[in-house]
Amino acid sequence: MGKPKVYITRQLPQKAIDMIKEYYDIVGIWEEYYPPPYEVLLEKVKDIDALVSLLTDKIDKNLIDNAPRLRIIAQYAVGYDNIDVEYATQKGIYVTNTPGVLTEAVADLTWALILSVARRIVEADQFVKGGEWWRTKTGWHPMMMLGMEVNGKTLGILGMGRIGRAVARRAKGFNMRIIYYDKYRLSEDLEKELGAEFVDFETLLKESDILSIHVPLTKETYHLIGENELKKMKKGAILINTARGAVIDTRALIKALEEGWIAGAGLDVFEQEPLPPDSPLTKFKNVVLLPHIGSATTETRTRMGELVAENLIAFLKGETPPTLVNKEVLKIRKPGFD
Ligand code: NAD
């Protein structure tokens, strides 16, 4: 057999392309900024052995059924809610992701959002650039742009995995009380190291001044934060989401912001991406919106690309890919192309 064929659904850092090229025949790379339409993907997967996918590519049963030769889907992201992993497993298809290498970048961005919302950074920037500071001749005023003090407050973390923990570590410098809720409780040692206290979901909602979401999107976490939950939060609380948009019920969040149930929000992810410019979310001054750039640093994106390549190469050599998502697939098919 010649080199196995791979299709790549977006331009990746060159390092990754070079690594993949050595072992695979890259039959195509989707060159546009927008994702390949579903119909295009359906066509592309017909004759490939491997697919490099992004979170914007819907990889469902139908697509998998259209790809009889497909043996591995190497996702360029840690989240994989766009892939029907269960079905891929049934079909003996390996699914890999890129955990760990993006943790610090996402934690940094989470903190950028926390501070932006708490200290009204974006609003203040617009105040200066828009000329209002000049027009109002304010100079320095005791009541100008007052925000929320972060130091000493309670940080609530929903989902204390890799990113949740990295966010908690950064909170130490702000002398915060850290509480968390997760499906699984951390070890006592890790709790001690992080200075984090395990609480139930209800307490997390009620006691957090800043609530930061770090759970994956699953059937269980879909709309986990809805009207009931938002109503339980403090009026002065800030909600941060750098996980997945659909963990929050957007309609409920808009209502909460309109009616002042919470003080503000910082969002990197949305139920609909890209977010339409006429979304009600865009009208709130106390909301900071980012275009899903959690892992967007040159270093991290390069490392993610390398990990995608490492997974593809290990699979080709008959080894278990380093960051395999569906470990059960090992029982169904051995790694490698036949
Ligand atoms: P992780 O698997 O290390 O952590 C997730 C944590 O959530 C785990 O501790 C898990 O036990 C917990 N969890 C899962 N289901 C839960 C539930 N129903 N209730 C409570 N806790 C639950 O993952 P990670 O590497 O920390 O990444 C977290 C998520 O962040 C990813 O799944 C992805 O969706 C998102 N993410 C976003 C960006 C971005 O660009 N904004 C970048 C990377 C990751």
CA distance 90 to 329: 8
DSSP category for residue 318: T
pLDDT for position 309:
98
Query: What does pLDDT average to in each consecutive run of 10 residues of the chain (338 residues)?
Result: 94 97 98 97 97 98 98 98 98 98 98 98 98 96 97 98 98 97 98 98 99 98 98 98 98 98 98 98 98 98 98 98 98 95
pLDDT for position 338:
81
Take atom 38 of ligand 1 and give the residue whose Cα is closest. 294
pLDDT for position 122:
98
Q: In the structure, which protein residues have their CB atom closer than 6 angstroms to any atom of ligand 1?
A: 78-79, 99, 102-103, 106, 159-164, 182-184, 214-218, 220-221, 242-244, 268-269, 292, 294-295
Alpha helices in the chain (DSSP H): 14-23, 38-44, 61-65, 85-90, 103-118, 121-129, 132-135, 162-171, 188-194, 201-207, 227-232, 250-258, 298-316, 329-332
pLDDT for position 259:
98
Take atom 43 of ligand 1 and give the residue whose Cα is closest. 78
pLDDT for position 240:
99
Question: Which active-site residues does the annotation give?
Answer: 244, 273, 292
Tell which atom from ligand 1 comes closest to the C-alpha of 81.
34
CA distance 37 to 45: 13
pTM to 2 decimals? 0.97
Residue 165 to residues 9, 115, 265, Cα–Cα distance (Å): 31, 18, 20
